[in-house]
Amino acid sequence: MWRKVGRVCTGVILRPFRGFHPPSDLMQRMACPPFDVIESDEAREMAKGNEKSFLHVDKPEIDFPQGTSQYDDAVYKKGKENLDLFIKNVFLFLFLFLLKWLTQDEKPCLYIYSQEMKVSRTGKVHVQYGIAAEVSAKQYEEKIIKIHEFTRPKKEDDRTRLTDTQRGGYIKLEKCNKQKKGANASPVFLCYRGVKEINEVIEEVTKKQQPYADFISDDGIKHRLWIVEEEKLTDKISHLFAQKVPCLYVADGHHRTASAWRVYKKRREELEKKQQYTGNEAFNYFLAVVFPAEQLNILDYNRIVLTLNELSPDQFLKKLDEQWTYEPCKCVGKKETSEEREDKEDTHASLPLPVTKSNEYRMYLHSKGWFTLKPKPCVLKDVGDDIIKSLDVSILSDFLLAPILGIKDLRNDTRIDFVGGISGLQRLQEKIDQNKSGVAFGLFPTSVDQLMAIADGNKIMPPKSTWFEPKLRSGVVSHKNENLIQFHNKQNFQRIASIFSMPLGRSFGSPVSHDYEKNTIVNFF
């Protein structure tokens, strides 16, 4: 690390760590979407029949009967139990080798994580390369890690309780008299203004080294992971961040970041009262994947309003006339007769093209169809160059959603819903047609430059302003610093199997539930 060679840190602290990750052959089965982009019922269905899905760790309510509150104490306890089991469990690979569900690297590493997807808006292939590492909770407190949106207290409380429970406090291991410490099951998605030298190191690693894991997730996104364990390289990357990256920006994961900071603050205060705080405890850091901002892909984050505030469609359109212009927009796709359309539950055979520039919207109004919607010059003059007011999401909220539809609280008003651009305009039309009323809006994406400028100014975007795609997968790399007693013996398979009382003929993938000798955790290589 940079401290070893006496360099002064003027920027971001980025540290290697001993990560937990599945064997490469298990990665696809275990990796899952982040907890905050799927509902509990969807997660339950996604993990059905897959005991190795990391959703059992990230959304433990799926292991309870439907209707169980995700805020129940038993759910948080289950999240810790599941994480512990994922670390302890083994499976029989090729009927020859015992492999752990999660293996911890022997020494601190950095992890290069790439994602590749085809962008439907442009038809181009998008690739982004991030570095999974520890970042500093104190630097979040110091605003070196910057935010652009507020969190919802209930959601933040939920992540804080799960993170704190999975950390397990400061329980001393009976046999080694050392503290158990630290757990971040899922990473935060951060970005920074790109640095040429960092890009060159990433390129060097990914060209010279075969990826540890290479898989395609259910949504068609290609994921690859490289493990950087050479100390010379990890030091070099840490030095570059310390010297050339003045700050990081939270792209996705404001609730995870806030909960990691709250656990840090709580644990630090507990130790300071006992005069035992050193600054080296694991809770001082949390897991993140940091990407150069220029590589990121932000999609539109669209709005659906299920009621017209007691207006008829014609009355609603008339209300728009004062500050908006609108006209039917050209749609592409198969044209149908009215009889054919009436015979179908969905009517998405003909859709408009997505918005291609700022200050323009697609609007789908029930019983009226698709329109191109634009604010009048008087609106644009009113917002001027204000960095917040001039955002497309702000213009829609301030000059339409609030004054016409009565939606002033985007966070809590149940009449409005938000749909990420990955679902396309088709999803907007489906929702309105199913509801048989309401209006939907397709927006132009907020740019990453706007995001960073707003965060630099200590300002906050309206809720649901950005939808980053692809999303990080949980379970690819996890962070749970813990003093473990490890045995590394590649040759003595019979001795290892006997520790777990593994019966011959045990079914593939079945978890081992036997107690471990001496509270130890065994890694197999």
One-letter amino acid at 462 equals P
Percent of the chain having pLDDT more than 70? 78
User: pLDDT band for position 9 (50/70/90)?
Assistant: low
| pLDDT value at 277 more than 60 | yes
List, as one string, the DSSP characters of 267-287: HHHHHHHTT---S-SGGGEEE
3 state SS of 420: strand
pLDDT given at position 217: 94
Residue at 433 is within a domain: yes
* Model pLDDT for residues 450-460, shown as the tens digit of each residue: 999 999 999 99
Does residue 142 have a pLDDT over 60?
yes
Res 156: pLDDT: 58
In this prediction, residue 372 carries a pLDDT of 97
**Cα separations in angstroms, 102 against 55, 82, 503:** 14, 12, 21
Binned at pLDDT 50, 70 and 90, residue 416 comes out as very high
Average pLDDT over residues 363-389: 96
- Indicate if the pLDDT at residue 503 is higher than 60: no
C-alpha to C-alpha distance for 223 and 221, rounded to whole angstroms = 6
CB 125 within 8 A of CB 222: no
> Which residue range forms the structural domain that includes residue 41?
2-297
176 lies in the same domain as 309: no
Residue that has been written with the tokens 């908006």 in this structure: 324
Amino acid at 222: K
Q: How far apart, in whole angstroms, are the C-alpha atoms of residue 16 and residue 233?
A: 10
Nearest alpha-carbon partner for 163 in 141, 191, 137, 190: 137
Does 63 fall in a domain?
yes
DSSP string, 21-74: E--GGGHHHH-B--GGGS-HHHHHHHTTT-TT-THHHH-GGGGS-TT--TTSHH
> How would residue 433 be classed by pLDDT, with cut points 50, 70 and 90?
very high
Residue 318 lies in a domain: yes
State which H helix or E strand residue 299 sits in. strand 298-299
- Per DSSP, 421 falls in state G
Q: Are 361 and 374 in contact (CB under 8 A)?
A: yes
Burial 38-64 (b: 16+ CB within 10 A, else e): bebeebbebbeeebbbbbbbbbbbbbb
Mean pLDDT, rounded, of the chain: 82
Q: Which helix (H) or strand (E) holds 263?
A: helix 254-273
Give me the helices (H) in 330-464, please. Answer: 338-342, 377-383, 392-396, 424-435, 448-456
C-alpha distances out from residue 201 to 126, 237, 245, 262, 388, Å = 20, 8, 15, 33, 36
For residues 45 and 123, membership in a common domain is answered with yes
Say whether both 419 and 462 belong to one domain. yes
Instruction: Decide which of 213 and 170 is more confident.
Output: 213
How confident is the model at residue 152, as a pLDDT?
Answer: 67
In this prediction the pTM is 0.81
| Token digits of residue 254 | 């404001």
Residue 478 lies in a domain: no
What is the pLDDT averaged over residues 263-289?
92
Kindly state whether residue 120 falls inside one of the protein's structural domains: yes
Angular region, 253: left φ>0, alpha ψ -120 to 50, beta rest: left
Number of domains in the chain: 2
Rounded Cα gap, residues 263 and 159, in angstroms: 10
Residue 304 to residue 459: CA distance in whole angstroms: 26
The pLDDT assigned to 298 comes to 94
Tokens of 444: 């132009």
Domain endpoint, select from 297, 332, 354: 297
Distance between CA atoms of residues 351 and 70, nearest Å: 38
Please name which of 261, 301, 32, 36 lies closest in space to residue 147, comparing C-alpha atoms.
Answer: 261
Would residue 485 count as lying in a domain? no
| Residue-level pLDDT at 392 | 98
Could you write out the DSSP letters of every residue in 97-164?
EEEESSEE-SS-BEEEEEEEEE-TTT--EEEEEEEEEEEEHHHHHTTSEE-SSPPPHHHHHHHHHHHH
* Statement to judge: residues 240 and 329 lie in one domain: no
Lowest mean pLDDT among 193-207, 242-256, 405-419, 481-495: 481-495
Q: Are residues 289 and 312 in the same domain?
A: no
**pLDDT tens-place string over residues 66-76:** 888 888 888 88
Q: Decide which of 262, 277, 297 is a domain's last residue.
A: 297
Q: Where are the alpha helices (DSSP H) in 274-337?
A: 313-320
Q: What pLDDT, in 10s, does the model give residues 224-243?
A: 999 999 999 999 999 999 99
Q: What is the pLDDT of residues 293-334, one digit of tens each?
A: 999 999 999 999 999 999 999 999 999 999 999 999 988 764
The verdict on residue 167 lying in a domain is yes
Q: Lowest-pLDDT range, 101-115, 263-277, 478-492?
A: 478-492
> Are 419 and 442 in contact, with CB atoms under 8 Å apart?
no
Report d(CA 412, CA 410) in Å as an integer: 6
Last residue of a domain, one of 276, 297, 318: 297
Over residues 154-159, the mean pLDDT reads 62
Angle between helices 196-208 and 231-244 (to 10 degrees): 160
Which of 56-65, 92-101, 121-130, 440-449 bottoms out in mean pLDDT, i.e. has the lowest? 92-101
| 189 and 96 together in one domain | yes
Residue 76 tokens, joined: 């948080």
Question: Is 260 found in the same domain as 135?
Answer: yes
How high is the pLDDT of residue 103?
87
Q: Rounded to the nearest 5 degrees, what angle is found at the Cα of 83, between the Cα atoms of 40 and 501?
A: 125
pLDDT value at residue 153:
65
One domain for residues 178 and 189: yes
**Per-residue pLDDT at 38:** 83
Q: Are residues 293 and 390 in the same domain?
A: no
3-state DSSP call for residue 367?
coil
Percent of the chain with pLDDT over 90: 59
Helices (H) and strands (E) in the chain, counts: 16, 23
Alpha carbon 397 to its chain centroid, in Å, reads: 26
pLDDT given at position 159: 57
Query: Which pLDDT does position 273 carry in this prediction?
Result: 95
Given phi > 0 = left and psi -120 to 50 = alpha, else beta, which region is 453? alpha
- Cα–Cα distances (Å) from 252 to 126, 167, 175, 190, 288, in that order, read 18, 22, 40, 7, 10
pLDDT band at 345 (very low <50, low <70, confident <90, very high): very low
Confidence band, pLDDT 50/70/90 cuts, at residue 119:
confident
Tell me: pLDDT of 462 over 80.
yes
Q: Considering the domain boundaries, does residue 508 fall inside one?
A: no
Same domain, 281 and 424: no
Q: What is the pLDDT of residue 330?
A: 85
Residues 75 and 179 in one domain: yes
pLDDT number for residue 337: 35
pLDDT digits (tens, 9 = 90+) for 193-225: 999 999 999 999 999 999 999 999 999 999 999
Q: What is the pLDDT of residue 425?
A: 93
Check whether 391 has a pLDDT greater than 50. yes
Same domain as 161, residue 38? yes
| Alpha carbons 169 and 270: distance in angstroms, whole number | 11
